[in-house]
Amino acid sequence: MFFRGLLATGLMAIVLSLIAVVVNRPAIENDLSSRLSTVYSAFGNDWARISVEGRDVSLTGKAPIMAEKQAALDAARRIYGVRVVNDRLETNPPVSPYTWSVSKDGKVLTLGGHVPSTEMRANIRDVSKKLYGDMEIKDAMKLADGAPEEDWKQALDFALQTVDYLGKGAVKISDSVVTIEGEAADVSSYNKIAEAFRGGPEAPDGFILASRVELPQMSPYVWSIEHVGRKVTLSGHVPSIDAHGEIVSRVRERFPRAEISDKMKLASGEPAAWDETIVYAINQLKKLRSGKVSLKDNVISISGEAADNPSYDSLMTAPVPDEISLKPAIYRPAALPYEWAAVWNGKRLDMTGYLPSKELRAKALKLVAAAFPGADSLDRTELASGEPENLQGRIAFALDQLKQLKMGSVTISNKVITLAGEAPDKAVLDKLRAAQPPSGAEFKIELEQPEGAGDAGTAAMSAAGLKADAAAISPYLWTARRIGNEIVLSGHVPSAEARSGLAELTARLFSGARIEDLTEIGAGAPKGWLKAARLALQQLVRIENGRVRLKDRTLSLRGQTYLASGREQLDALVKSGLPEGFDGTADISVKAAGAEMQYEQCQELVNRIISLARITFETGKASLTREGLGRLDRVAYTLRRCPAARIEIGGHTDSDGDEASNMRLSQDRADRVKKALVAAGIAAERMSSKGYGETSPIGGNDSAEDKARNRRIEFKLER
């Protein structure tokens, strides 16, 4: 009975327990499901489906990665009260290719692609917030298996660092390839990207790096090239590293001796005709003595001074690349000092010097025709910039004064108008002295009234007890006048032979000049007159815009010299260097120093000086002739205007004589020129002298003319 009672009691307990289980099962299942859901929610598991039967848990769904599946199973097994966990979970297959990305658009940073674990995902978010705390960060990453074996985290860190260099774009990882694409934030960032993706120290090991980043778009797109002295400066933007290299290479080719300052930066946004436009710009700059060529989008601007007049014409007419418009601010080569002159010999008017345009040249010729109706005229002006204000008005005034002279010249040099020559009488002389020039100009007159002759002279001779001769001239006048590149001989000479000899001497002394011989033969020349006249002509070589005059036995010099030493030597000549029985006076001023120039301009002027008249020496010697010394004055004056230039003085001979002797002679002559220039105030350390002998002829050695051309001094200027 006892056991029966015990059995009955046990069965009752079991029944009661079963009843309790059945009664409490829903609550148990709900509790287990709730607790497991809470755990899954805590670590972001939103893919597992939970089914509870009693205390048995079944899990279904697709885990993104194997690790997540295992974590879900382990979490379920750790729940108190769970008896059995039935694994019905699936997993996604490994992703291939395995990708991840970070993109930047303004103030938004988006994380996308795949990550191999929740820990790494959280770490990526934390690092992103630390690096880009001022940006909105969007997380679009997904868990997936299949990450490459390489150091994935190192690649992620590299991507998060380099995306900062983008204005807009993304860094993507696909398996073991890291690619950056988009637009760089700026040129500096573009360069940093280029360095990083060339395999810099921060690059991830084992990954292939690729960059498809565009330069930042620049608007407006600007580029320029400037040439001043021996320096060429490149500035602005270029579309690629290759384009940068091509530009520098082309500039070195076109300006081989220039110092190149490269300030170009990379940027996109260049005009469609970029390559053609750059070639055009560099070629145009070569035609400028100094200046700048600038590109702004589709507009190219050229400013500066043309190297010469043909270059100016070419600059203004060269075809511009398609779709590019031109804004020129080009001026002709500047003339310093800026001079214009008109020479009137009583029959013909010659116009020389500079004018700024063809239009003003045409107007000046009309003014000449109006002032000198019926007279012949010759226009030898050159076009150049640097003209004084109201040049047309000053020319009109100058011609109005010149037409009142028997012969003479008028010169406009910057703001000074100078009238020189012979007035027909005192009334005209007084009128000219009272003339008022245009506003801003100064008017100087260097006029002489013609000396009387004829009866008065004969009467004077009779009063002195001399035999009067109807053919004798008294006072006996002869004048050689130099205005610019014009030499006018006037007055009387004692014979045809004297006239011919003086004409030949003038042609030799002033080779390249225009010579007008208006002299007449007349008796009355004093003894020694021809020697004095020849000496006077030799002095005129050193005088600019002036004259030498013999009046009986008195030589008078008037005009300007280029150097103070020239004036001193002329003063000494008239005091003690004249033939016996002659005396003299010198009214000589020193030409004002010219404005400084670039060495290229000096080279051009020096070449012009020695092309008109060579530096000459005594035959077979290194001694400068009087005319050679006079021409050297002008060279020295010009060299003073480019104090930074270094000068090589080259001596050359013809092929007469033996080669060694010619080499010595050419060196001696170059040394002598250097010594003369030092005496003229050119620093010795600026100059070197070199003899070339007969090794560099500029003509044949078969004729006297060619040999004369080969006997020369040359000047090469460098900075």
CATH of the domain at 506: 3.40.1520.20
Q: What is the pLDDT of residues 388-434, one digit of tens each?
A: 999 999 999 999 999 999 888 899 988 899 998 778 888 999 999 99
Task: Write out the two tokens for 473.
Answer: 């001239």
**pLDDT attached to residue 227:** 93
Residue of 344, 447, 346, 360 whose CA lies nearest to 395:
360
Please check the confidence at residue 455 and state whether its pLDDT lies above 50: no
Average pLDDT over residues 540-558: 90
Sheet containing 177-184: which strands, arranged edge to edge?
136-143, 108-115, 99-105, 166-174, 177-184, 208-214
- CA 100 vs. chain centroid, Å, equals 50
Asked whether residue 464 is domain-assigned, the answer is no
Query: Do 491 and 556 belong to one domain?
Result: yes
Please check the confidence at residue 191 and state whether its pLDDT lies above 90: no
Average pLDDT over residues 266-286: 92
Residue 155, CB half-sphere, CA atoms under 13 Å: how many?
A: 27
Residues 6+ positions from 253 with CB-CB distance below 8 Å: none
Average pLDDT over residues 347-361: 90
Here the CATH number for the domain that contains residue 666 is: 3.30.1330.60
Query: Do 652 and 543 belong to one domain?
Result: no
Query: Do 324 and 359 belong to one domain?
Result: no
Residue with tokens 């006249």: 533
Please check the confidence at residue 120 and state whether its pLDDT lies above 60: yes
Residue 37, CB half-sphere, CA atoms under 13 Å: how many?
A: 10
Q: Which of 194, 214, 234 is the last residue of a domain?
A: 214
Give the Cα separation of 82 and 31 in Å (integer).
10
Question: Where does the pLDDT of residue 226 fall: very low under 50, low under 70, confident under 90, or very high at 90 and above?
Answer: very high
Query: Do 713 and 655 belong to one domain?
Result: yes
Q: How many domains does the chain have?
A: 6
Q: What is the pLDDT of residues 439-453, one digit of tens each?
A: 999 999 877 665 543
Query: Do 86 and 130 belong to one domain?
Result: no
**pLDDT attached to residue 700:** 80
Query: Do 477 and 585 belong to one domain?
Result: yes
Q: What is the pLDDT of residues 671-707, one digit of tens each?
A: 999 999 999 999 999 999 999 999 998 888 888 888 8
Query: Do 635 and 668 belong to one domain?
Result: yes
Q: Which of 535, 557, 590 is the last residue of a domain?
A: 590
Please check the confidence at residue 457 and state whether its pLDDT lies above 50: no
Asked whether residue 460 is domain-assigned, the answer is no
Please check the confidence at residue 463 and state whether its pLDDT lies above 70: no
Residue 493, strand partner residues: 521
Are 207 and 176 a contacting pair, CB within 8 Å?
yes
**Residue-number span of the structural domain to which 608 is assigned:** 599-718
Task: Write out the two tokens for 241.
Answer: 């590293």
Question: Where does the pLDDT of residue 616 fall: very low under 50, low under 70, confident under 90, or very high at 90 and above?
Answer: confident
Q: What is the 3-state secondary structure (H, E, C) of 340-376?
A: EEEEECCCEEEEEEEECCHHHHHHHHHHHHHHCCCCE
**pLDDT attached to residue 668:** 95
Least confident of 330-334, 380-384, 452-456, 661-665: 452-456
The reply to whether omega before 97 is within 30° of 0 (cis) is yes
Question: Where does the pLDDT of residue 459 fall: very low under 50, low under 70, confident under 90, or very high at 90 and above?
Answer: very low
Average pLDDT over residues 544-554: 90
Query: Do 603 and 714 belong to one domain?
Result: yes
Q: What is the pLDDT of residues 281-313, one digit of tens each?
A: 999 999 998 899 999 999 999 999 888 888 888
Here the CATH number for the domain that contains residue 37 is: 3.30.1340.30
Burial of 464 (0-12, 13-18, 19+ CB in 10 A): exposed
Asked whether residue 468 is domain-assigned, the answer is no
Give the Cα separation of 630 and 570 in Å (integer).
11
Query: Do 23 and 85 belong to one domain?
Result: yes
Q: Angle 670-609-565 (CA atoms, 0-180°, nearest 5)?
A: 70
Residues 6+ positions from 266 with CB-CB distance below 8 Å: 187, 190, 191, 215, 237, 238, 239, 240, 241, 244
Q: Which of 91, 110, 127 is the last residue of a domain?
A: 91
